[in-house]
């Protein structure tokens, strides 16, 4: 009988923010796969370290920044597919939630189209973890909440942010200065909260206005904005 | 020493979609509080039923639809505050994630302003659970994702939906016909997936076009839309 591939949401960073369901699947999985840097380092693997039994087959899917990812996912899907055909179950570790801007969807598409059984186990997203750590509810009542990637053009950022009750701005990186400028122009700086590496030991929270303009934000960072200041007001 | 109040995200419905962290806090909490209907029935309490130890103090926060909720939250915050002052810990159960349109934020505001220690434990949101069950990733790359409440006006719905890569439309209820009309006008019906009671035994998934126009969607329902059909394309 063919094995099942699981896209496992493992949560934002704190190991205990994994669900019981993902934890239990992890205990039984024959193979564990995860995204990794070129040198093999993997935040996802690190997050679940306290939960992974020894002696499992492990597949590090090494992504090289700036190189086409399609051939890498093609190869990973084939390798995982071979294990599934051999009746083995495969847990693919996904930081946060697998379907919220997660790279698991590229494997999901390939595995599903090849006819393999695939299940997605939702996880605690970084967006919810950031809100919890900041004590800043995302949205209430009939608020529109927008998730806005930092790489968008200044014009698009201005249009989206000008037209929403609440926002989470993700993928800040080297786009930080541009994003901050738009927030300032819209008069929202006092409503904006910045956080990086939420729930990890290296977590940092700073009022947006206190950060230097030339900040290069790490990948795991986010700005949350609510037009009313606090969503419950 | 004062006790701590925890806003516990308990996930979308399937009991094992609670986090290890929330599960552990639940085992140790002296008091368990949860939103309930006027007759005391509570979905939140029902979701965690397999996990709750016996003999705990329980507080059902009874919300009457159509009546002002402020006095109810005032009274609940006072009652919880008394337990905290007596050194007891209080777990407040929150369906999904506490800060994603959750009523916990109204208690959070009151308890925090009264100087009580409050912590929010993020949970798996229904939005992520719906995407997982539907096999429909929410957003990828530089997509804008909007969360849009159904009660908004037809004009506002049209403006927001016309201006986004992906959307989750929540709080459908009796607004279903209006929402569906706008989706149809924008040519997005073939991109829209409907789901109710995700991860519960009564879960139902239907292509949006198959639902009668006079559908009254239950509270726990959602429409997910992605302009490309599948986010990974």
**Residues near B75 by beta carbon (within 8 Å), at least 6 away in sequence:** none
Q: Which two tokens stand for residue A46?
A: 């690190």
Give CA–CA dist B158/B152, Å, rounded. Answer: 10
| Cα–Cα dist B162/B227, whole Å | 10
The interface predicted TM-score of the complex, written ipTM, equals: 0.97
CB A51 within 8 A of CB A15: yes
State whether A107 and A61 are in the same domain: yes
A68 touches chain B (CB under 8 A): no
Distance CA B63, CA B65 (A): 6
Chain B, residues 103-132, CB within 8 A of chain A, namely 105-106, 108-109, 112, 118, 120-125, 128-129, 131-132
Pair (A102, A53) in one structural domain: yes
Cα separation, A47 vs A66, in Å, equals 25
Average pLDDT, integer, range B48-52: 97
CB hemisphere CA count around A200 (13 angstroms):
20
- Indicate the residue among B89, B121, B153 that finishes a domain: B121
Residues A118, A7 contacting (CB under 8 angstroms): yes
Same domain? A78 vs A143: no
- The C-alpha of B142 sits at a distance from chain A's nearest C-alpha, in angstroms, of 5
Which of B102, B121, B140 corresponds to the end of one domain?
A: B121
Residue whose C-alpha is closest to residue A87's, from A159, A24, A13, A29: A29
The predicted-structure confidence for B157-205, as pLDDT tens digits, reads as follows 999 999 999 999 999 999 999 999 999 999 999 999 999 999 999 999 9
* Shared domain check, B182 and B220: yes
Do B108 and B197 fall within a single domain? no
3-state secondary structure of A195: strand
Alpha helices in A121-219 (DSSP H): 126-134, 154-161, 176-185
Same domain, A41 and A112: yes
When scoring B7, B97, B99, B103 by the number of chain A Cβ atoms within 10 A, the one with the most, hence best to mutate, is: B99
Compute the mean pLDDT over every residue in chain A, rounded to the nearest whole number.
96
Residue B231 lies in a domain: no
Rounded to whole angstroms, the Cα distance separating A94 from A102 reads 7
Of the candidates A76, A94, A121, which is a domain's last residue? A121
Distance of CA A233 to the CA centre of its chain: 29
State the total domains in chain A: 2
**A163 and A138 in a common domain:** yes
Span B24-38, pLDDT tens digits: 999 999 999 999 999
Query: Do A63 and A164 reside in the same domain of the chain?
Result: no
Do residues B100 and B146 share a domain? no
Instruction: Say what percent of chain A tops pLDDT 90.
Output: 92
Contact B148 A143 (CB under 8 A): no
Record: contact B146-A144, CB cut-off 8 A: yes
Domain limits at B210?
Answer: 126-226
- For A101, the closest of B108, B129, B139 (CB atoms) is B139
In chain B, DSSP assigns E strands to 5-9, 31-36, 57-62, 90-94, 118-121, 145-149, 166-170, 192-196, 204-207, 221-226
| Cβ-Cβ contacts under 8 Å for A98 (sequence gap 6 or more) | A7, A8, A9, A92, A104, A105, A108, A120, A121, A122, A123, B132, B137
Considering the domain boundaries, does residue A233 fall inside one? no
Question: Which tokens in the block code for residue B18?
Answer: 């609670």
DSSP H helix total and E strand total for chain A: 7, 10
Co-location of B79 and B136 in the same domain:
no
Express as a percent the part of chain A with pLDDT over 70.
100
Bridge partners (DSSP) listed for residue A81: none
Question: Does residue A101 lie within any of the structural domains?
Answer: yes
Intra-chain end-to-end CA distance of chain B, in Å: 55
* Burial classification of residue B125, based on how many CB atoms lie within 10 Å of its CB (0-12 exposed, 13-18 middle, 19 or more buried): buried
Q: Do A100 and B129 touch (CB under 8 A)?
A: no
DSSP structure string for B150-196? TTS-HHHHHHHHTT-SEEEEE--GGGHHHHHHHHHHTT-GGGEEEEE
CA-angle at A205, arms to A199 and A207, nearest 5°: 155
Q: What is the pLDDT of residues A104-161, one digit of tens each?
A: 999 999 999 999 999 999 999 999 999 999 999 999 999 999 999 999 999 999 999 9
Per the domain annotation, does B133 fall within a domain? yes
Contact B203, B195 (CB under 8 A): yes
A10 shares a domain with A115: yes
pLDDT in the model for residue A173: 92
- On whether residue A231 sits in a domain, the answer given is no
Question: Residue written as tokens 């290069």?
Answer: A216
Tens-digit pLDDT profile for residues A188-213: 999 999 999 999 999 999 999 899 88
Q: By the 8 A CB rule, do B47 and B198 touch?
A: no
Q: Is B95 an interface residue toward A (CB < 8 Å)? A: no
CATH code for position A170:
3.30.950.10
How does DSSP classify residue B83? H
Q: Tell me which residue has tokens 């159904």.
A: B150
Give the pLDDT confidence of B74-89 residue by residue, as tens digits: 999 999 999 999 999 9
Q: Name the H helices within A114-212.
A: 126-134, 154-161, 176-185
- Average pLDDT on B119-135 reads 98
Residue B123 pLDDT > 90: yes
Taking the C-alpha atoms of residue B170 and residue B147, their distance in angstroms, rounded to an integer, is 7
Strand partners, B221: B196
Cα gap B33→B43, rounded to integer Å:
12
Is the Cβ pair B149, A147 closer than 8 Å?
no
CATH code at A38?
Answer: 3.40.1010.10
**Burial class of residue A216, CB neighbours in 10 A (0-12, 13-18, 19+):** exposed
Q: Where are the beta strands (DSSP E) in B64-117?
A: 90-94
Torsion, Cα A12 A15 A16 A18, to 10 degrees, reads 60
Whether residue B232 is contained in a domain is answered as no
Look at residue B233 and tell me if it is in a domain: no
B138's tokens: 């929410």
Are A74 and A182 part of one and the same domain? no
In a domain, A104, yes or no: yes
Q: Indicate the SS3 state at residue A144.
A: coil
Shortest Cα–Cα distance, A139 to chain B (Å): 5
């Amino acid at each position: 009988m063919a094995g099942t591939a699981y896209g496992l949401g493992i949560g934002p960073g704190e190991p205990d923010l994994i669900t019981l369901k993902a934890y239990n699947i992890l205990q039984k999985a024959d193979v564990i796969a995860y995204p990794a840097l070129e040198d093999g380092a993997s935040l996802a693997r690190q997050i679940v370290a306290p939960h992974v039994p020894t002696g499992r087959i492990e597949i590090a899917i090494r992504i090289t920044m700036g190189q086409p990812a399609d051939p890498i996912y093609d190869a990973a899907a084939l390798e995982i597919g071979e294990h599934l055909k051999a009746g083995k179950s495969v847990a693919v570790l996904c930081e946060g939630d697998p379907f919220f801007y997660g790279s698991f969807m590229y494997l999901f598409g390939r595995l599903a189209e090849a006819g393999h059984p695939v299940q997605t186990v939702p996880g605690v997203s970084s967006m919810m973890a950031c809100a919890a750590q900041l004590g800043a509810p995302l949205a209430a009542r009939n608020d529109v909440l927008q998730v806005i990637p930092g790489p968008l053009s200044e014009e698009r950022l201005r249009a989206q942010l000008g037209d929403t009750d609440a926002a989470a701005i993700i993928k800040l990186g080297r786009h930080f200065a541009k994003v901050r400028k738009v927030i300032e122009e819209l008069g929202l700086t006092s409503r904006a909260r910045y956080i990086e590496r939420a729930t990890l030991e290296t977590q940092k929270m700073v009022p947006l206005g206190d950060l230097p303009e030339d900040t290069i934000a790490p990948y795991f960072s986010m700005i949350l904005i609510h037009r009313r200041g606090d969503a419950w007001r």
